[in-house]
Chains A and B, each alone.
Chain A
Amino acid sequence: GQNIDQPTEMTATEGAIVQINCTYQTSGFNGLFWYQQHAGEAPTFLSYNVLDGLEEKGRFSSFLSRSKGYSYLLLKELQMKDSASYLCAVMDSNYQLIWGAGTKLIIKP
């Protein structure tokens, strides 16, 4: 079966760095997405990785290793507004998005 695993909840301190991991097992791979979702709102796109390596975009970076079925989202210089759920999603061979359950990130002052 298809499976996306990510931690349920993480806590970090304002100004610090946090890494949210995602492991996946899917039938085929056409890219991995990270989305941010604030409570009561729709997800917003953060990053897309299809090749191995690190993609940096401001305070957020995303890493992919296809051979390990592994990705992480790195958030630097954490701000209170970064408190949200972070969803990992993999696009399978049918171009369908398979979603992880999301990681709730709590930022403390």
Chain B
Amino acid sequence: GAVVSQHPSWVICKSGTSVKIECRSLDFQATTMFWYRQFPKQSLMLMATSNEGSKATYEQGVEKDKFLINHASLTLSTLTVTSAHPEDSSFYICSARDSAGGETEAFFGQGTRLTVV
């Protein structure tokens, strides 16, 4: 299957700082990328959907000024958590799909565990 690489795998940051998480599709063009957040013992919660070259579509309740998403190329999307607070501590997962190729399956990155102290 296709490979999606997410970096970093884990990060600890101080409250008030910003953290950038990268998501790369290594062997296909990711026309659509999804960012999820998962709290312990809960299912994936979609935060936003981004299509290459256009603004991300955020789910209700997700602050777009706090969670900045950039999908500037067909192989890279970034999520920046700005002014992070302890309540932002979570597992963040990206997934990518080659929707232009008619593929419906989405491939997941390894996830990033963010801890804000």
Contacts and interface: CB of A to CB of B under 8 A. Distances in A.
A11 B63 CA distance: 39
A31 B102 CA distance: 13
Contacts, number: 41
Given A42-B93, A45-B1, A101-B42, A96 B108 contact: no
A48 B104 contact: yes
B117 interface: no
9 contacts: A31-B104, A41-B110, A42-B109, A44-B108, A45-B107, A48-B104, A100-B43, A101-B42, A102-B43
A101 B104 CA distance: 21
A48 B105 contact: yes
Contacts of B82: none
Interface string B89-108: 00101000001000011111
Interface residues of A, number: 19
Interface of A: 30-31, 33, 40-45, 48, 87, 91, 95-97, 99-102
A69 B60 CA distance: 26
B46 interface: yes
B49 interface: yes
Tier of interface size on chain B? 20 to 34
Interface of A is mostly: loop
A71 B107 CA distance: 21
Contacts of B91: 40
Contacts of A99: 43-46
A27 to B, nearest CB: 15
Contacts of A30: 104
A95 B102 CA distance: 11
Nearest to A6: B43
